[in-house]
Each structure stands twice: as C-alpha cells, then as structure tokens.
Amino acid sequence: MRTVVCTLIALCTACGGTSEPEPWTLVWEDAFDGPAGTAPDASRWTYDVGGDGWGNDQLEFNTDRTNNVDLDGNGFLRITAREEAFQDNAYTSGRIKTQGLFATTYGRIEARIRLPDGQGIWPAFWMLGSDISEVSWPACGEIDILELRGQQPNRVLGTVHGPGYAGGNSIGGEIVLDEPVTNEFHTYAIEWDPDHITWFFDDQLVHTVNPGDVPGTWVFDHDFFLILNVAVGGNFLGDPDDTTVFPAVMGVDYVRVYQRTTPLVATE
C-alpha cells in the first residue's frame, strides 16, 4: 500500500489542517437503539455469512447470530469475535452490511466506534461498490474508511482499492497517534466527492486521495454500500497468538450518512 503518514499532533501542518464545515443533510443513520441482546434493525442491515477466508485467509466464520452481532440495550452495536469451534473454523465473528437496503454515491459517511485490539484482530468500517455482483472486485471499488491491525492499536488505515491498485497495492494513508485508539470511542469519517475522497479522524483532516493518485481507473463515481466487521487473522495482519484476548468486541455508537446540501461537481 502506498501511504501518506500523518501524526495526529502534526495534522495541521502536515496534512493541510481541518477544512471549514460544509452544509450537510442527513440522509441515513442508525443509532442502534433496541433491547439488549437483539439483532440490529433488519431494514438497515443484513449479513455476510461464511468462513471460507474471505479472500484474505481469515480464520473466522461470520455468523448471523446474536452471539456475534447484537445491541447492548444502551444504544450501541456490538460485533464480537470469539474463540470457538464453529463450522470447521476456530473463531466466529460478524460482518454486517447495507447491501440491497441502502447505498450512496458521494457524501459524508461517519461512525463513532470503539475498536478492539490484539494480535490478529482486524476491525474495519468500509464500503464496496454496489455493482460487485456484475463486475466483481476490485472493479467495483472499495473504500476503507478505517482498518486496524490489532497489534498496532495506535495506527489506523484509510485506503481505496480498484483495478490496478488492489490488495497490497491499495492507495491511502494512516493516522499515527501517541495513544491507542482502542482506549475510547472515536469518530471515523470520509467526505467523498466527484473527484476526491478525504479521511477524517475526530473531525481532523488526515489525507485525501484523488484520481491522479491511483495507477488505474477511478471507480468511485457510483453507489456503494456500507460494511462493519471484525475479522480474525489473515494475510493482512497475521493470526492470533497467546497474547490475543477473546472475546474481542467492536462497539458502534452510530453510523450516519450525509449528502451535501449543495453538491460539488468534478473539476477538469
């Protein structure tokens, strides 16, 4: 991955500072209200279920059970990775998505999340192009709003994948902090416009990717759906070891999607 590295202390000088607030209109959200132990709203979320490695040699079986994805009764979603034998896998977890229920082209997409850590724990908040079933990955495009290698809890990645820049050749940057992000909730967001995508951490601008930064086709001009998951192991970060603590829980306070009140247009 080609990265732009920014320390949080030096964001204003290294990455251009925080832009002035823009007018936004909220178009979709989930605040995860509901009784403890119940599944998230089925009108907003569905599940990816399976344990075939997900193209990354991941070790978990993602289920649609409330053991792995549920509400805590206090306005938070929990995605829980567990060390347990299930369907020939040694771990279980959850991967929920809005595919077929909600998608957006452009906008501000944000979530307030507390991330789990530990060797081999891989939480993420990301998006895939809604045309994935027609054109496959990576031609559909992928936007990773955040990814965390659990053994590096003070470094959060934000990247894009597309034709010619997928997998280990993805394009993006990372936040480097003095303290682990896993200590508390933080807000992770992108502002996605016709000719650029900008990442934010707690409303501080981190980095921007535009069409000139990618070595292939820019595939970020159509609908994408949202995904939240906690993966276990795989070729991106390695497998859990004796230091990894289970269960590993991602807590999500809310997910919100905004559209600009006055849309931007691509520049020539």
pLDDT at 192 over 50: yes
pLDDT at 5 over 90: no
Whole-number mean pLDDT of the chain? 92
pLDDT at 21 over 50: no
pLDDT tens-digit readout, 62-88: 999 999 999 999 999 999 999 999 999
Q: Percent of the chain scored above 90 by pLDDT?
A: 88
* pLDDT-based confidence at residue 262 (cuts at 50, 70, 90): confident
pLDDT at 16 over 70: no
28 and 102 Cβ atoms separated by less than 8 Å: yes
Per-residue confidence (pLDDT) for residue 54, from 0 to 100: 97
| pTM listed for this prediction | 0.92
* pLDDT-based confidence at residue 22 (cuts at 50, 70, 90): low
Using the structure block, give the residue that is written with the tokens 């009764």.
Answer: 73
Q: What domains does the chain contain, in order, with CATH numbers?
A: 2-260 (2.60.120.200)
Per-residue confidence (pLDDT) for residue 12, from 0 to 100: 33
DSSP structure string for 194-260: TTEEEEEETTEEEEEE-GGG-SS----SS-EEEEEEEEE--TTT----TT--SSEEEEEEEEEEEEE
The torsion angles phi and psi of 156, rounded to 5 degrees, stand at: -120, 130
| Mean per-residue pLDDT, 123-139 | 98
CB atoms within 10 A of CB 90: 16
Coil vs helix vs strand at 193: strand
Per-residue confidence (pLDDT) for residue 7, from 0 to 100: 38
Q: Percent of the chain scored above 70 by pLDDT?
A: 91
- Which is more confidently placed, 20 or 111? 111
The torsion angles phi and psi of 253, rounded to 5 degrees, stand at: -80, -45
H/E element, 11: helix 11-14
| Mean per-residue pLDDT, 103-112 | 98
Per-residue confidence (pLDDT) for residue 10, from 0 to 100: 31
- Known catalytic residues are 142, 147
pLDDT at 145 over 50: yes
Using the structure block, give the residue that is written with the tokens 């607030």.
Answer: 21
The torsion angles phi and psi of 168, rounded to 5 degrees, stand at: -70, -10
pLDDT at 9 over 80: no
* pLDDT-based confidence at residue 45 (cuts at 50, 70, 90): very high
H/E element, 46: strand 46-47
